Amino acid sequence: MLKIFSALVAGIIFGMGLVLSQMVNPNKVIKFLDITGQWDPSLMFVLGGAVLTTMIAYRFIFSRSKPVFDDDFHLPTLLQIDRQLLIGAVLFGVGWGVIGYCPGPAVASLGFGVEEPLIVVISMLAGMLFYRAMV
Amino acid sequence: MENFTPYLSLAGGVLIGISASILMYLNGRIAGISGIVAGSFNAPSFEEKAWRLAFVVGLVLGGAIFMHFFPITITPRENMSTALLVLGGLVIGVGTAMGSGCTSGHGICGISRFSLRSLVATATFLLSGIITVYVFKQMTGG
């Protein structure tokens, strides 16, 4: 139960951060990727702020033997830079560049009462299930 | 550069970082949205499914609450068709499942734990996104 509650709290804070940083604004995201146009570098600061905060916190967190509500840290075990990783990242970048939403902001925008994120999230879920069915 | 918002963006980034830190400190989990969502389909236990869904519900709630009190203007797009949104969403779904992550999992959590895989993935999707926006702009004459 505690694990579920802490995930809810983490989700709420994450969602607030996505709105405050305007990652939920696809126009701004596309302007960030548009380096040959009217480039808006703001999102570099989102990534920078998030990475810096997480990097410092992880240092302390990983010096513990385990998380508070679990027996182990669940970290990715894959280490290889393989074709799947690269093709997947290229595909994700294409989708991101065309519509201006990545998964987090699309989900966090579901409560805004606009149509775009809902279409994106449903299609994204379909894409995930499709890939799962293929492999 | 008239819409450059470094301080708000930085503050938002710090909030995202705090969230990622809480999830690792308390639950030992990576705050990667595509991974959390995709993993909810075949979660091996009720608790596993529940925390993933709770995070997603929190994401929607946090976004909606913040938007309610500090609304930001998102100008509706005229050149964005439903077909394009569907196609984009599908490609993102396949790509993040295949590449095991998105902006949050690779870009924030992965880089923060010095994962070479995540660094390569992040550089790749950033570059791919930049090229896509450039090509798309040429195609649509924008």
User: Are B124 and A111 a contacting pair at CB < 8 A?
Assistant: no
Instruction: Give me the phi and psi of B44, to 5 degrees please.
Output: -75, -15
Cα–Cα distance measured from residue B114 to residue B95, given in angstroms and rounded to the nearest whole number: 22
Work out the burial of residue A133: count CB atoms within 10 Å of its CB; fewer than 13 is exposed, 13-18 middle, 19 or more buried. exposed
Nearest-CA distance from A132 to chain B in Å?
A: 8
Chain B environment of A59 (Cβ under 8 Å): none
Cα–Cα distance measured from residue B85 to residue A90, given in angstroms and rounded to the nearest whole number: 18
pLDDT exceeds cutoff 50 at B1: no
pLDDT exceeds cutoff 80 at A51: yes
Q: What value does the mean pLDDT take over residues A87-98?
A: 98
pLDDT exceeds cutoff 60 at A22: yes
3-state SS assignment for residue A93? helix
Binning pLDDT at 50, 70 and 90, where does residue B119 land? Answer: very high
3-state SS assignment for residue A32? helix
Chain B environment of A73 (Cβ under 8 Å): 24, 28
Question: Distance of CA B90 to CAs A98, A128, B59, B142, Å?
Answer: 12, 8, 21, 24
Q: Tokens 């702020």 — which residue? A: A49
Chain B environment of A76 (Cβ under 8 Å): 30, 100, 110, 115, 117
Cα–Cα distance measured from residue A127 to residue A124, given in angstroms and rounded to the nearest whole number: 5
- Report yes or no: A34 and B82 within 8 Å, Cβ to Cβ: no
pLDDT exceeds cutoff 60 at B2: no
What ipTM score was computed for the predicted complex, to two decimals?
A: 0.96
Instruction: Give me the phi and psi of A132, to 5 degrees please.
Output: -60, -40
User: Are B89 and A95 a contacting pair at CB < 8 A?
Assistant: yes
pLDDT of residue A135: 86
- DSSP classification of residue B44: S
User: Are B132 and A33 a contacting pair at CB < 8 A?
Assistant: yes
pLDDT exceeds cutoff 80 at B141: no
Q: What percent of chain B has pLDDT over 70?
A: 98
